[in-house]
Structure 1
């Protein structure tokens, strides 16, 4: 009887250890640039109490039905390439910052990657071959540098929807090369339909959920706004017994920042620092204490900290704005 009780307690303890995320991923999305980085660019990441950075190399395609992805070329910015990604990782590691490698695609003129869709079987096959070349290049880098996490794709809903077997096979191939943790960055309105969460380690969500229609959303309004979304996220975590990772999260310092947080329209330029603070704080209070929540990566963080953001800036970066202090507080290391 005592043996049974001991085994039962051990099994419960093991389950809790699996499900509970005690050490949050307090991350920044470290923007690829033209430049080599050094200690001066990493120190601000340390000062905001981050323990992770997403390094984001890029591939480029001409339009939404074009199958060829150009990547790792001498026509790209240094940080967008494999050598640049490796150099960034090496510098981040010197300061104890862990890494998620997050290769992304840029469609000409900034069209939404979720709409990439081929019109012929021939082009689908060509896209699959090209994407495999792209992602395996960074899979090999992830294994080489022992990256803690590899994100296998970002906001590619129609590609995933129309070619599910390709993604299953790709994940299997990735696992023969890379031994770390895997995720996929599903858009906030995509993640419920992503078919392969059971094959990955984290349910990855780019968390641009609408939480308030107000010009200056209050903290309380945003907390209330999350009640429409949080149960769905929680249920998915329970269904797959996987932790949720916000592969991107963040708000612009602009009027109506909580209404359509994914919008990056430069015409929206009326600065509202309170809106960014309130939406950001509400997200932290809603998720960071949950045992099934792994953490996330703030969108976005530029390497030249002293030259970006500021109180006249209406863009996503929290740098040199009141929202940076909010992040610093919630990322504060345990005593």
Structure 2
């Protein structure tokens, strides 16, 4: 009987232990003009969110401009140092962990991955400016005890042309911030990032093309994931790091899985079912994998009652059927 009791206790401990290991069930928490309030966070708790990405912004005039403008009185509160601190404090009070994810916005919405300087002088100015930008928010992350810090988002040309700069920058960030580090690589960039060994997670903005159908079914979408999933797992094995989807999401529109990265004002028809199917497929393919740490939905607006809805074809799942899909999977994991 004693032996049976010991076996039972061991099995119970294993089962309990497996329940403790949960995914990063995250959202990209959009900054606003105002302070975040408890009502904004109550909705995250109802969604079973465990992590939130807080995103301060720096601004650049055009793709070859080297100066980053950030933390100014002209920005929205949530995009500034003070706002980031306030958001993190409120999230932590509600036991939601935080990834600080500074991002760059280029005028007219130019893709940051194409940002490239014309000469050595401008590269040096950009490097100095970016260091000030990123170390400002690394210090915020340390002061606020944020759990993860993202050192950059979709900066392919900058990374590829200046690899030495990034190596020394990571060292400077480590001197300021003692938590976990990642980088948010674009879906077609992550395999060429040269510094994964210096970070704690492989971060990927997961806008992989999966289907060219108007409303692809979940099974078809899962099949479309197979080559991408294999490649992601190979990167995880190569670097001995878990993968995080630093962003993932689909618009509630026709052909949503064809080019999931599209952020233009396209007038493709609203398609709530396509968004549901795409969300279901990504959860089914990844949330049970031990090499996969979790992800951050793009994107979630604090003022829930005004966000999304049945006539909206944008990324947010708020007030759409996809919201319930997220809730069910986040509750399970």
Deviations 1:7-61 (A, max 9, x none): xxxxxxxxxx9xxx93210000000111111101111111100010000000000
Structure 1 contact 206–247 (Cα < 8 Å) conserved: yes
Deviations 1:139-163 (A, max 9, x none): 0001000100000000000000000
**How big is the shift at 1:265?**
1.8
Give 1:28's aligned residue.
27
Give 1:318's aligned residue.
317
Give 1:134's aligned residue.
133
Give 1:81's aligned residue.
80
Give 1:214's aligned residue.
213
Q: How does 1:1-335 map to 2 (within 5 A)?
A: 22-332=21-331
SS at match of 1:331: helix
**How big is the shift at 1:94?**
1.6
Measure the CA separation in 1 of the matches of 2:169 and 2:122: 17
SS at match of 1:229: helix
Structure 1 contact 31–300 (Cα < 8 Å) conserved: yes
Deviations 1:78-122 (A, max 9, x none): 111000111111111121111000000000000000000001100
SS at match of 2:293: strand
Give 1:8's aligned residue.
none
Measure the CA separation in 1 of the matches of 2:234 and 2:110: 31
Structure 1 spans left out of the alignment, 5+ residues? 1-16
**RMSD, matched Cα:** 1.3
Measure the CA separation in 1 of the matches of 2:281 and 2:21: 20
Measure the CA separation in 1 of the matches of 2:21 and 2:86: 30
Give 1:12's aligned residue.
none
Structure 1 contact 114–158 (Cα < 8 Å) conserved: yes
Measure the CA separation in 2 of the matches of 1:271 and 1:305: 19
Measure the CA separation in 1 of the matches of 2:266 and 2:248: 21
SS at match of 2:257: coil
TM-score by length of 1: 0.93
Structure 1 contact 22–291 (Cα < 8 Å) conserved: no
SS at match of 1:32: coil
**How big is the shift at 1:269?**
3.8
SS at match of 1:332: helix
Deviations 1:231-250 (A, max 9, x none): 10000000000000000000
**How big is the shift at 1:217?**
1.0
**How big is the shift at 1:333?**
5.2
**How big is the shift at 1:267?**
2.0
Structure 2 spans left out of the alignment, 5+ residues? 1-16
Measure the CA separation in 1 of the matches of 2:216 and 2:152: 32
SS at match of 1:184: strand
Measure the CA separation in 2 of the matches of 1:44 and 1:293: 25
Measure the CA separation in 2 of the matches of 1:294 and 1:121: 38
Measure the CA separation in 1 of the matches of 2:268 and 2:92: 36
TM-score by length of 2: 0.93
SS at match of 2:331: coil
Measure the CA separation in 2 of the matches of 1:203 and 1:268: 34
SS at match of 1:63: coil
